[in-house]
Structure formats: structure tokens, C-alpha cells
Chain A
Amino acid sequence: MSSNRQASAASPWRAPILFAALAVLFLLEGTVRNGLFSGSWNTALAILNMGLISAITALGVNMQWGYAGLFNTGVVGFLAIGGLAPVLVSLPPVQGAWDAGGPRLIGALLAGLGTLALAKIVYTRTGRIWAMALVLLAGLVAYRWLFDPAVLAIEANDSARTGNIGGLGLPVLLSWIVGGAFAAAAAWGVGKVALGLRSDYLAIATLGIGEIIVAVLRNENWLARGVMNVTSIPRPVPYEIDLQQNPAFVDFAARWGFGAAEASGIWVKLCYMSLFLVVLLGIILLAELALKSPWGRMMRAIRDNETAAEAMGKDVTARHLQIFVLGSAVIGIAGAMMITLDGLMAPNSYNPLRYTFLIWVMVIVGGSGNNWGSVLGAVLIWFLWIKAEVWGPNLIGALVGPLPEGDIKAHLLGSAPHMRFIAMGLVLLLVLRFAPRGLVPER
């Protein structure tokens, strides 16, 4: 079996060496200017920051897949629902929205949840489907009766600029935790329903659920303005403009030989980076502690052979639910962090290719089941994803250089942006080729 072959080939130095190589890539990106690298610290740090967020997302996916073998393809949904938190927590309240329909809206949501709970109780107590259906129907009517007017009123409230319920005006950092909680709550509901399914069937269920969550975010304007986007979400770090106007900072930058604009960009990104690193390392610490104890052993056993694990007294369903919720919470935290970094909530941008499958690529390339692997894979793949934008066209430029001028050359040069995909695909295939079990395989 190949498994033992590669495992034995992996030396303990593998991970440090790869991380060092990655660091060198970023150093080059920050300092060297050529066809491959941009030589700007701002670019390098910007890529790194998004890479760190991807790393946290990848950690969440790795918990679900690497530890427990749950194939969650609804990552985009949990990211999105986490992203809702900064909007609802940190945005200033919208004038008049609450009065227009707030209490009624809360009532509607409570009625909705109450109906579901009641339906469940009725079903378990009586075991009659029609009774449950009746409760659901009645609940639905009550819910719509409360919900629709409230939504209309809220959306009518200054609809061009707001039209949503607004936020609570709390610090945005708080929203990271709330984002995790949102995603965890959603995952709990999803898990209760869908975790009876396995593997590919679970995959398609979660894929659908991800789509549903995004569809809700896109179409429920009262919540976060839907496709109209929410902008200017507060930041936990200073604004560049303020820094540029702060003489002390300008002096400080000049001492290091940077212009104010450049330095302010770097400074802000460094601030973000520290915040992200704290979260990332905290999550890794907790994850590693859990993984390197009987809990981790139990999870591996469940992943290996559910039937046997069940026969050995492990409650497989409960454990699956636990890990699904934990992993999703981590993804939700990442979602909230991403919105904080972007300063923008744009539900249309949540597309599964980018936010589900690219994350999966990160986990697998890094080496599933290994936390450090996921981090490595995430930062690396994100780096490549961004750099492919430049490398692709440069590649085709180099390739068609010797061709004679003419239609074909013009056509190829015109299609150069699409080399982004080819470049990305080739890189991905190459990495998988040379490390078929991931860069840092599970030990």
C-alpha cells in the first residue's frame, strides 16, 4: 500500500522546510520585481492576510474531513453565514428600521422556530405525520402573517441607502465570535438533518445547503441588503488615511525609508496579520491538543470504520454532529474575519468554486488530517491563485513570442487572462503529483 510508503518517506523536517520555502516565496514577492514577483510588501502582505483567513477556513474543513471523514461541500454557506455577523454586530443601527418592523420580525422568527420545535414534539409524542404537517402548516401561516409586513416595512425604510435592520454598533472583533456561533447554529440544524447521509450523499446535501444559505443572503434584503451589498463595515485596525494624516506616523515611516501611503498600507496589514495569527494559532493549539489525545484517536477510529466504532461503544452520530458543528464554527469565524478584512458584505461573491472547492484544494494539497498541512496548503494555494493572474498571461506571452504575427497569435494573446486557470490547474496538478498525499501528510 502506498500509504505506508509515503509516510515512511516523510521526514520530521518536511514541514519546517516547506514553511521556510513558503516564507521565502513571500520574501521574494515583497522584495524582488520581475515577471514572477511584484516586489511590493503591500501585495505580499495582502496575499498573506487573505491566505491566513483561508488557512482558518481550511482548518475548519480539515476538522470535518481530516478528523472525521465528513465531506462538507457547503463551506461557502458557512463562510457566508459567518460573514453576516459583522453586519449585524458592528454596523450602526439603522434609523427607524427597528420601529418599522423589528419586534414583529423577532416575533416571526420565534414563531418559526417554535413551530419547528412543536412539530417535532408532536411527531415524537403522537407519531402521526398528518398532525405534524398540520402544526407546520399553521405555523407557516402564522409566520408569514408576522413576517411579510415586517419585512415590507423594513425594506421600505430608506430603501436606496439602507432598507435593512442594521446592526448593534458593537465592536467588530466581537462579531468574529458571533460569526462562529452563527455558523455553529446553522451546522447544528443541518447536521441534525443531514448527518444520517454519508460521503457523496452528504456532499450533495451540504452543497445544497450552502447554496440555500447564500440564496437567503442574496434575497432577504431586510437582513443584510441582499445583492445591494453592505459597505463600510467598521474595522478593528486604524484607517490608512488617518495614519497618513498622523505626523508621528509619517515620521516613523520616513525613518524606515517608506512613503506615508505605502507605510500606512503595510502597517494596517501588519495589524490585521497579527489579529489573524492570534486566532489561527489559538485554533491550532486547541485542535492539536484534542487531536493528540483519546478524542483524536476516537475520531480516527470513527473515520476508519464506523460500524466497528459503533460496536465499540462510540456514538458515531453524536460525534459527527460535534465535529461538524466545531468545524463549521471555525469556518464561520473565518467568514466573519473575511468580511471584516474586505469591509464589504457582497453575497453575490459567494460562489462555490472559490469558497468551497478552492478551500478543498487547499486542504488536500496541504495533507488532510494534518493541521499544519492545511495551513501550509491554504497559504500556498492562495498565493498561487493570486499569482496565477500574472503568471498565466506571462506564460502565454513567452509561449507565443516566437510565433509569426497573425490572427492566431492575436487570438492567443487576447485570451491571455484565461491562462490564469490553466496556470492554476497546472500548478495544482504538479503539487499533487509530487506530493500525492499532500505536502505534509498525516502521521
Chain B
Amino acid sequence: MIRVEDLHRHFGGFHAVDGASLTIETGSITGLIGPNGAGKSTLFNVIAGVLPPTSGRVFMDNEDITGLPPHTLFHKGLLRTFQLAHEFSSMTVRENLMMVPGAQSGETIWKTWLQRGRIWREEAELRRRADEVLDFLTIRHLAHEKAGNLSGGQKKLLELGRTMMVDAKVVFLDEVGAGVNRTLLMTIADAIIRLNRERGYTFCVIEHDMDFIGKLCDPVIVMAEGKVLAQGSAADIMKNEAVIEAYLGTGLKNKDMVGA
């Protein structure tokens, strides 16, 4: 689905992504993990067209999509969420979802003058779909709340909800889990699996919660210092020495001081 070839992205002299090559298979849920500052978000941003690469190519279904702007990629079926929630803060939660689908006739200005009826029907359908998503995310009661007033975790849910409003081909999730309640996170994992199975979405997921990665992802790609460090099934990765040293660690040292 997505193929990244020898991608570089430099900030001044700093090589945030330093020659990463990887493939995300169609229909897979690929996990992307790595220490803080490994360049995961930067890689996402380059793929999603937010940042131009310094060098290297990105392909989607064998089509070169390097440097295409995000809105074009959206229409090609590539969606993404942001690590720091990017809600539309002065709009209500429901509006945040309803604005997502492309090709709404009500978004063409002259149609808003001439085709009121049609727009009205489309809106009713959108509202229904938005409410479904809200129900799923357990935040239906917040439909009329301004998105800016949501709690940190709720914003992340909303971020995820937007990707569920349209039929995507491939969805990039940047730390959906950070700040989300773990019980709910497992429900989200189920949803991702369902979307993957039933609607054939391809996912690429950045996450630091290894339970989540373990439950969800195959394969898992490990990045470190801008390069791909390892790749394999979740179980393999968790056994990999290099990964443990750079990323997973060996647990608490001060455990004995607990519970005194």
C-alpha cells in the first residue's frame, strides 16, 4: 500500500529521518515504535504531505505521492491523526465530525444558494453518521460541546473519530493512545481490528503502549535515530535485544521502595 524509499528529512543539520525505507502492506495493521525523537512523527508528516522530504520517495499503490499536499492525499484515501490533538476548537464536537467528508455539495458556494434541499438531505445523513461515531467513542453526550472544552483524552478520541467518518484506504494514527483511558484503548483496538477486517482499511499505528501494540499490530517496525532498527512480529520485537536496550527497558529499579 505505502512504500517509503530511502527517506531523509533534515532540520538544519539535524537528521530527524535518516534514510528510512519501509513498506506497509495492504490490509495490514503495522505498528511503528521507537524511542522519543526517533523520527516517527516526522516520517508520518512527510508521508502525509505536511513536510517536504529532504530526499527520498513515497509511493502509494505504486503511485508516487511524494510532496503532494495533504488535502490531495485525503482524497486519495490517506488519512492521519495528530500526536497533539488538532481539533477545531470553536466548533461543536458533532460539527468536527460532519465537516470531514469531502465532496459535500454544500461546500460549493453557489450550490448553497441554489440547492438548499439537496444540502439539507445530505446534512441529515451526515448527522446520522456522526452520531454513530460518537456513540462508538462514548462521547455522544458531548455532541454539542465545543471541541476546545474537551478533556485531553476526549480530544484524542475525536481525532480518531474523524478518520471513521469516511471510507479511507490507509489511516495513520499518531499515538492515539497517549492520554486515553486503557479500558477505552482496548475498545479502540477492537474497533481498529474491525475496520481493518470489515472495511479493509490499512493502518499504521505509532504507540508507546506495548499491550496495545501487542494486541493489534503485525508487523511491528522499530525506528531509532531516523532509521529502521528492526522489523517483525510483535512477539519477536519484544524479544529483540537491541529493541529492549533502546526502547523497552527492563522495568522499574526502585520497585522495592514501593508499598512501604
Contact = CB atoms under 8 A, between A and B. Distances in A.
In the complex they form, do A and B come into direct contact, defined as C-beta atoms under 8 angstroms apart?
yes
Contacts of A297: 91, 95, 98-99
A293 B105 CA distance: 10
Contacts of B17: none
Contact of B100 (A290, A312, A322): A312
B109 A4 contact: no
Contacts of A300: 88, 90-91, 95
Interface string B73-87: 011000110100011
Give the interface size class of chain A.
20 to 34
B70 interface: yes
B48 A311 contact: yes
Contact of B112 (A3, A290, A307, A313): A290
Nearest to B123: A294
B91 A301 contact: yes
Interface string B10-31: 0000000000000000000000
A4 B89 CA distance: 12
Interface string A314-327: 11100000100010
Contacts of B108: 295
A253 interface: no
Contacts of A293: 106, 112, 116, 119
B112 A295 contact: yes
Given A310-B69, A311-B74, A286 B149 contact: no
A314 to B, nearest CB: 6
A289 B112 CA distance: 6
A322 to B, nearest CB: 7
B102 interface: yes
Nearest to B75: A313
B244 interface: no
> How would you classify the secondary structure of chain A's contact residues: helix, strand, loop or mixed?
helix
A298 interface: yes
Interface string A357-370: 00000000000000
A251 interface: no
A2 interface: no
A267 B108 CA distance: 41
A353 B123 CA distance: 43
B74 A286 contact: no
Contact of B82 (A308, A309, A316): A308
Nearest to A286: B113
B70 A301 contact: no
A326 B82 CA distance: 32
Contact of A298 (B50, B107, B113, B119): B107
B119 A294 contact: yes
A315 B107 CA distance: 11
A301 B88 CA distance: 6
Nearest to A308: B86
Contacts of A294: 98-99, 104, 106-107, 112, 119, 122-123
Nearest to A290: B112
Contact of B86 (A290, A311, A316): A311
B162 interface: yes
Given A310-B69, A312-B74, A313-B71, A295 B88 contact: no
Nearest to B48: A311
A305 interface: yes
A318 to B, nearest CB: 9
B145 to A, nearest CB: 10
B6 to A, nearest CB: 24
A304 interface: yes
Contact of A295 (B50, B86, B100, B107): B107
A305 B159 CA distance: 13
Interface in A1-19: 1, 3-4
A39 B123 CA distance: 52
A286 B112 CA distance: 9
A329 to B, nearest CB: 12
A290 B71 contact: no
Interface core residue of A4, A286, A298, A310 (most chain B CB under 10 Å): A310
Nearest to A314: B71
A301 B230 CA distance: 39
A322 B109 CA distance: 9
A304 B50 contact: no
A35 B99 CA distance: 54
Contacts of B116: 289, 293
Given A290-B113, A309-B88, A310-B69, 15 more contacts: A1-B149, A293-B106, A293-B112, A294-B112, A295-B107, A295-B109, A297-B95, A298-B107, A300-B88, A307-B50, A310-B50, A311-B70, A311-B74, A313-B75, A313-B100
Interface of A: 1, 3-4, 286, 289-290, 293-298, 300-301, 304-305, 307-316, 322, 326
9 contacts: A289-B113, A294-B104, A297-B98, A308-B82, A309-B99, A311-B80, A312-B100, A313-B71, A316-B71
